[in-house]
Amino acid sequence: FPEMLSNPKLVPVQGTLNVVMKQNVTLSCLSEPGSAPVRYTLFKHNQQVSAVNRSDLTPALFTLTISSASDVGEYKCKAEHNNSSGGKYSNSLNFTLIEPISKPVLSSPTSQAKKGQNVTLSCLSENGSLPITYLFFKGTQNISPQKTMQKREAAVIFLFIDSLSDFGTYKCKANNSFPNNTKYSDGFNFTLAAEERSHSQPLIISLGLTLLLLIIGFALAIPFFIIPLYKASE
């Protein structure tokens, strides 16, 4: 009599259940212990996908192509002896479809700031598989620890504008589990608030007004002093 089969074990050969669109994946199904021959059948949502006969105690391999979101549904395999009733079912597997992230958008509630002010920066990728990890930069130097977001919400950092150098260019980058898919935002710059600019330029304004008054005074002096002196010298 053939040895009774155990529940087979279904595992991904590539070692991960994270997949991308148009990827080929292979599933291995093996009942151990048990005696050959064994017929293995792969099911997706209880619908038969493929079947393999094994005359020895080697696993059945099933290769699939992830061509749509429906291909990441629940998979199981069944092991049974030929010409026998019943059979044993494996554990179930569900693939996770990972998608590339979109270019993140860096923003702030205000685009103007002044020295001594607290400001915030937010970074968000609207598309892409979660979780998404964000990192903030000023110039080429990172200015925050990595922030990993499990939900579709922006990563936020708080900054203190302490000097004019804090008005440099800020950027953020985002990545997820999709391979080779790091994206950077456009640059963001705070501008100096209008009242701050006016306070920082009083000397220039004062000099400008003084020069203007001198020009006006010189123009007014021409008909009263310079022209009579010129005529007197003739």
Does 205 score more than 70 pLDDT? no
DSSP 69-95: GGGGSEEEEEEE-TT-S--EE---EE-
The residue ranking higher by pLDDT, 158 or 233, is 158
Q: Provide the percentage of residues in the chain whose pLDDT is more than 90.
A: 59
C-alpha dihedral, 79 to 81 to 82 to 87, nearest 10°: -50
Query: Look-up: residue for tokens 């009579």?
Result: 228
Among the ranges given (61-75, 121-135, 149-163, 183-197), the one the predictor scored with the smallest mean pLDDT: 183-197
From 168, 149, 166, 154, select the one nearest 121 (Cα to Cα).
Answer: 154
Query: Is 184 in contact with 171 (CB distance < 8 Å)?
Result: yes
How large is the average pLDDT for residues 139-162? 95
Predicted local confidence at residue 123, as pLDDT? 98
Helix, strand, or coil here: 228? helix
Task: Round to whole Å and give the CA distance between 103 and 174.
Answer: 8
pTM score, whole prediction: 0.63
pLDDT, tens digit (0-9, with 9 covering 90-100), for 75-132: 999 999 876 667 899 999 999 999 999 999 999 999 899 889 999 999 999 999 999 9
Partnered with residue 51 across adjacent β-strands are 41
Q: Provide the percentage of residues in the chain whose pLDDT is more than 70.
A: 84
Task: Set out the domains of the chain in order of their start, with CATH numbers.
Answer: 9-97 (2.60.40.10), 105-192 (2.60.40.10)
Query: Is 25 in contact with 14 (CB distance < 8 Å)?
Result: yes
218: its two tokens = 């010189």
Task: Round to whole Å and give the CA distance between 58 and 132.
Answer: 40
Predicted local confidence at residue 203, as pLDDT? 43
